[in-house]
Structure 1
């Protein structure tokens, strides 16, 4: 699937959804106006929580044709890239901190025919991206520490988004933010250069989903 640079995209995180109705939740939020579906994969090792694996991704793939934005908070990631690709992930993001050979991981994702991204934890400098920029479709700046939904937005990451934007320059790389994103914080990161907004609690905990997504979009028109 192509990555459109023309607008700010909203990618609801199913981490905040009702797991008992996961396929229905994915379909409903897609119908409500989501641009992408964000899939937070956690292993209880790299982060202190466990969510789901490739079988769950495969199970909900038929619920929508929207781009599946698969965020692997796992270490090591390389042994599982093919499984997530086959399960239906369109874009696979690995953490810069999760393995010793980031360039190799990105090459592996590309070889599977998928878009690739790198995620940065709050304490990780953007300099780790310097020598892999030309292999990237997306950079994910974590605005909370990964592992749990519903955390408070870390304001220091706004400046990191600005620096990442400067590094990207004219390259066709999306800048995504994840953590504490709602109608209050979305304009802050968009002004800094972000163009993909991951929102979990701000959408799934505030139904109807159409209204929650609209509130974020309207906040950008008013404040960004």
Structure 2
């Protein structure tokens, strides 16, 4: 399964969004974190910024909606051109219906789980999703430390996907850096969201390449 690097733009300079996105042109996706100050204790980005990112980005945009009522709001992110839209299992009233609505709009669909949420209740509906996002921090703020305790959940998710014969991606988000990406890849993740690690690096482009190399090495060692 291919390694996918998705830098989060949460730590970038929004006054120069186009330039900031150009720095990660070698990544696979630009990860846009949307927070509504209800589902998570922070307010960040939203539809206008996501739309600006889609317009300015040299790579596809992956929207992660940390919001209440994604059933109502998520389709708008597909409409503005996000290539992938991820909503939280804990917030969606009708996740299957929403996944199908998003697919009908031509976008990839991800289901996100907070650290305390188990994958097991969702195993039977895995075929409805292109990606499962296992949060490796409590969602809401950038720059938090990686929760190593999530690695068994990543491994169980990967095993369930393989047992079902699916090609579903497993994304990890939170505290991903050179120090943690190998562990996440060995556990079965193939899509890595790195925010601070990329945007606080001296050279974002080089950091993306290094993260990809480390993840590929770890994936091939299995």
The interval holding the TM-score normalised by the smaller chain is over 0.9
**1:28 aligns to 2:23 (yes or no):** yes
- Which of 56, 67, 70 is the equivalent residue of 1:77? 70
Structure-2 separation of matches of 1:109 and 1:128: 21
Deviations 1:77-129 (A, max 9, x none): 12112321122211111100012222122122122221111001000000121
In the superposition, the TM-score normalised over structure 1's length comes to 0.92
Structure 1 residue matching 2:82: 3-state secondary structure:
coil
Structure-2 separation of matches of 1:93 and 1:110: 12
Structure-1 separation of matches of 2:89 and 2:41: 17
| 1:43–1:49 CA contact under 8 A, matched in 2 | yes
In 2 relative to 1, CA 222–103 (structure 1 residues): closer, same or farther, beyond 3 Å? closer
In 2 relative to 1, CA 189–57 (structure 1 residues): closer, same or farther, beyond 3 Å? same
In 2 relative to 1, CA 82–102 (structure 1 residues): closer, same or farther, beyond 3 Å? closer
What's 1:198 paired with?
A: 193
What's 1:38 paired with?
A: 31
Instruction: Name the Cα RMSD after superposition.
Output: 1.5
Structure-1 separation of matches of 2:88 and 2:144: 19
Structure-2 separation of matches of 1:166 and 1:222: 20
- Which of 107, 126, 134 is the equivalent residue of 1:114? 107
In 2 relative to 1, CA 118–34 (structure 1 residues): closer, same or farther, beyond 3 Å? same
Query: Displacement of 1:218 after TM fit?
Result: 3.5
In the superposition, the TM-score normalised over structure 2's length comes to 0.92
Structure 1 residue matching 2:43: 3-state secondary structure:
coil
The worse-fitting range, judged by mean Cα deviation, of 142-151 and 203-212 is 203-212
What's 1:161 paired with?
A: 154
- Which of 97, 109, 113 is the equivalent residue of 1:104? 97
What's 1:144 paired with?
A: 137
What's 2:12 paired with?
A: 17
What's 1:180 paired with?
A: 175
| 1:40–1:73 CA contact under 8 A, matched in 2 | yes
Structure 2: stretches of 5+ with no match in the other structure? none
| 2:3–2:215 CA contact under 8 A, matched in 1 | no
| 2:54–2:60 CA contact under 8 A, matched in 1 | no
| 2:65–2:74 CA contact under 8 A, matched in 1 | no
Structure-2 separation of matches of 1:189 and 1:178: 10
Structure-2 separation of matches of 1:136 and 1:126: 13
What's 2:204 paired with?
A: 209
Structure 2 residue matching 1:180: 3-state secondary structure:
coil
